[in-house]
Amino acid sequence: MKSVTARLAFVAVTGLVGTGALAQDGPRVVAVNYPIQYFAERLLGDAGEVIFPVPTDVDPSFWRPGISDISLVQGADLILLNGAGFATWVDRVSLPRSRTVTTGAAIEDQLIVTESITHSHGDGGEHSHEGVASYTWLDPTLASLQANAIAEALTARGLAEDGDVADRLAVLQSELAALDDTTRAALSPLQGAAIIATHPRYHYLERRYGLSMTSLEWDAGAMPTQDELAELSEAVTETGAQILIWEAAPPAEAMEAVAAFGLQSVVFPPLAHAPEDGTMLEALNVSVAALAAAARGAGN
């Protein structure tokens, strides 16, 4: 997978820095999540390297980097943050201000304030989803503005040819606009219909397309516990939802268990990490189509 490759490359470069043997032809850009990496790669082309250093089994929002990881980040020509509170580590290190860009700075007035929910899972320790929803790229119009910010950051620092970046940005933004149109049409039958999500990732998708989501706090790809299934049962009773969105494919028995509540399962990776197959836009199109198909199956 691409992110695994990026991680290996990152580790390899980390080792080289210590020996002073780093040979670098083009600019090196660091991104805090896959969508930012994807946009930067599209815009930079072959002019440089874009690194997303978070291991695939770690939630990029709560990654805890090592010292050498931060040394590499500090040495990058450009550090692209998401904004909206995504990636807690960025507030625990010194980043060079002149080379750090928050791609979501221009959309701060469109961010979604969320409720406070503190919990823990995995090795990331206790954390909270309080504050601001951070998966901004799930609204293609916001993603397009973030791509624009990346383009400006690249050209302002002379990391790529202005004309090349402008051309690539136009193509990327047209693809995002097409995704927006496709999604709006595909999900229009779901407007106002209750949907349950296994984790609070989809606020921007929900707002953009007029959905009505209730979020649980389940671990990605895991078999829900009996308590979690009881919680789901209550949510179904309260909302009348007929669709359950999983952020990662769970075991088959998990889907069978929720089907007993009359729920159709849809796997919709929120893409903080790269998808198993294809690109960000391809994966989103697949997820939207799956959601639309579930809507038809649910009789909405």
Partner 1 sequence: MIPTALRRAALGLCVTAAPLGAAAHQLVVFASVEDCTDVVVEAKFSNGNVAQKGEVRVLGEDRDVLSTLMLEENGTARVGLDSIDHSAGLLIEVDTGGHDNYWILTPDDIAGKCGS
Q: Which residues bind partner 1 (CB under 8 A)?
A: 61, 64-68, 70-71, 74-75, 84-88, 91-94, 116, 118, 125-128, 130-132, 134
**Is 150:43 a contact under the CB 8 Å cutoff?**
yes
Closest to partner 1 by CB, 128 vs 191, is: 128
Distances (CA, A) of 58 to 65, 109, 122, 234, 279: 11, 29, 9, 30, 20
Smallest distance, Å, CB 70 to partner 1? 5
Q: How far apart are CA 142 and CA 36, in angstroms?
A: 12
Cβ burial of 95 (10 Å; 0-12, 13-18, 19+) is: middle
Smallest distance, Å, CB 92 to partner 1? 5
* Greatest Cα pair distance in the chain: 62
DSSP state of 192: T
Smallest distance, Å, CB 247 to partner 1? 17
Smallest distance, Å, CB 116 to partner 1? 7
Mapped to the 3 state alphabet, what secondary structure does 229-260 carry?
Answer: HHHHHHHHHHHCCCEEEECCCCCHHHHHHHHC
User: Residue 218 has which token pair?
Assistant: 């389940």
Q: How far apart are CA 260 and CA 237, in angstroms?
A: 13
Smallest distance, Å, CB 67 to partner 1? 4
Q: Which residue has the tokens 């290996």?
A: 8
Closest to partner 1 by CB, 86 vs 204, is: 86
Closest to partner 1 by CB, 89 vs 261, is: 89
Closest to partner 1 by CB, 114 vs 300, is: 114
Smallest distance, Å, CB 1 to partner 1? 26
Q: Count of CB atoms within 10 A of residue 96's CB? A: 13
Closest to partner 1 by CB, 130 vs 256, is: 130
Closest to partner 1 by CB, 7 vs 168, is: 7
